[in-house]
């Protein structure tokens, strides 16, 4: 794989996954947790995301075609899942559940929503499918794309490690403000996913 294309792939995945925007979101979703718990969630979510994106990079188009799911349906379903997360953040339902079920560990956000759909979301899955299905791509090219993806998620992990200092800087009130603000932004992003999916299938004449 040429260096120029590798840079292009890195920038594309970096913009789609948005590691910088993911850091304050990680703070909001892990509010009140200690450093060790956050580290476990960061490691688990990044490894799961790498696994998911690897599967879609290697066989995403085959899987979707086999079970009859379009990328448009992926975007719509991802948007709906993200909207539920946004509601939890806006109304502090996640915080309340964590306090009620802390000992049971039933509110671990590493798989949902951090690993999927925030890191390995419809956009990043579709991007992996498109990048690895570039005309003339061979196995070395495909492996190069996956190496680039791992580098981008490495950036996500590095920023996750700054969650503790970031929370101390913001304080309890600041975290609540950011949580609600991000909840609103996530709600808007989820609607955008749904609109993109509807546009892809030509529904309601959306352009």
The pLDDT confidence band at residue 10, using thresholds 50, 70 and 90, is very high
Q: 132-138: list long-range contacts, CB under 8 Å, 24+ apart.
A: 132/57, 132/58, 132/60, 133/61
Residue 115 has what pLDDT? 94
For the stretch 97-124, pLDDT in tens is 544 544 444 468 899 889 998 899 888 9
pLDDT per residue over 15-61, tens digit each?
888 887 788 888 888 887 888 999 999 999 999 999 999 999 999 87
The predicted-structure confidence for 147-175, as pLDDT tens digits, reads as follows: 999 999 999 999 999 877 876 787 777 77
Q: Is the pLDDT of residue 207 over 90?
A: no
The 3-state secondary structure of 156-181 reads: HHHHHCCHHHHHHHHHHHHHHHHHHH
Asked whether the whole model's pTM tops 0.75, one would answer: no
pLDDT of residue 137: 80
């Amino acid at each position: 794989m040429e260096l120029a294309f590798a840079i292009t792939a890195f920038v594309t995945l970096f913009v789609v996954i948005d590691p910088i925007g993911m850091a304050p979101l990680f703070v909001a979703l892990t509010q009140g947790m200690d450093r060790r718990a956050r580290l476990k969630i960061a490691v688990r979510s990044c490894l799961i995301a790498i696994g998911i994106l690897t599967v879609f990079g290697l066989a995403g188009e085959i899987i979707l075609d086999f079970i009859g799911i379009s990328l448009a349906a992926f975007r719509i379903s991802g948007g709906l899942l993200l909207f539920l997360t946004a509601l939890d953040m806006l109304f502090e339902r996640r915080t309340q559940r964590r306090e009620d079920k802390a000992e049971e560990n039933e509110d671990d956000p590493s798989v949902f929503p951090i690993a999927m759909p925030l890191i390995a979301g419809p956009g990043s899955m579709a991007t992996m499918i498109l990048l690895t299905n570039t005309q003339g791509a061979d196995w070395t090219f495909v492996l190069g794309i996956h190496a680039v993806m791992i580098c981008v998620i490495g950036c996500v992990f590095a920023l996750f490690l700054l969650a503790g200092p970031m929370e101390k800087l913001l304080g309890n009130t600041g975290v609540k403000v950011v949580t609600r603000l991000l909840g609103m932004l996530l709600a808007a992003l989820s609607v955008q996913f749904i609109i993109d999916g509807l546009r892809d299938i030509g529904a309601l004449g959306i352009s």
